[in-house]
Amino acid sequence: MTRVITWTLVGFGVLFIALLVFLGVAIGVEGAAGWVARFRDAMIVTVGVFQIITSVLTIALLMALLFAIVQINNQIQRTVIPKVEQVTAKVDGILENTRFNLGAGQRNITHRQRNHCLHRRTSCFAIHSGN
């Protein structure tokens, strides 16, 4: 078992034992007469206490979740976004370089194709027409 599960079970065990002690004291104080009404009142108080505890724990959990989200956002702002901007700048540079070289490359290919046709001394109509 993990440590968290162990301590959770210990906490529930302590709460259960405290509930039993509380009920025993509440029922035993007045004696046997009217124990149903006292039991009902004790249960109402017990449920109220557990509801307050649950509300406080829910608020604490939401605050912890909000803190975690803020910390993750700060970490992303410091590390991930600058790296993405660097990569975007590099890709933009590569695209510009590729566009520039592609235009020069097309001129070179056309020149090579013309030389090929001149060496063969044949018609290269299909090459020059783009088909």
- Whole-model pTM: value is 0.44
DSSP-assigned letters across all residues of 14-80: HHHHHHHHHHHHHHHHH-STTHHHHHHHHHHHHHHHHHHHHHHHHHHHHHHHHHHHHHHHHHIIIII
Give tens-digit pLDDT for 84-120: 888 888 888 888 777 766 555 555 555 555 555 555 5
Give residue 68's pLDDT. 93
pLDDT of residue 20: 81
Domain that holds residue 40: 3-129
Going by the DSSP 8-state scheme, the letter that residue 130 receives in this structure is: T
Tens digits of per-residue pLDDT, 30-75? 665 676 777 788 888 888 988 999 999 999 999 999 999 999 999 9
Is pLDDT of 131 > 50?
A: no
- Per-residue pLDDT at 50: 87
- State the first-to-last Cα distance of the chain, in angstroms, to the nearest integer: 72
Q: Do 46 and 19 touch, CB atoms closer than 8 A?
A: yes
CA distance 61 to 9: 19
Give the pLDDT confidence of 13-32 residue by residue, as tens digits.
Answer: 888 888 888 777 766 666 65
How far apart (Å, rounded) are the C-alpha atoms in residues 68 and 119?
A: 72
Domain count, the chain: 1
Let me know: does 29 contact 5? Beta carbons within 8 Å. Answer: no
Q: How confident is the model at residue 126 (pLDDT cuts 50, 70, 90)?
A: very low
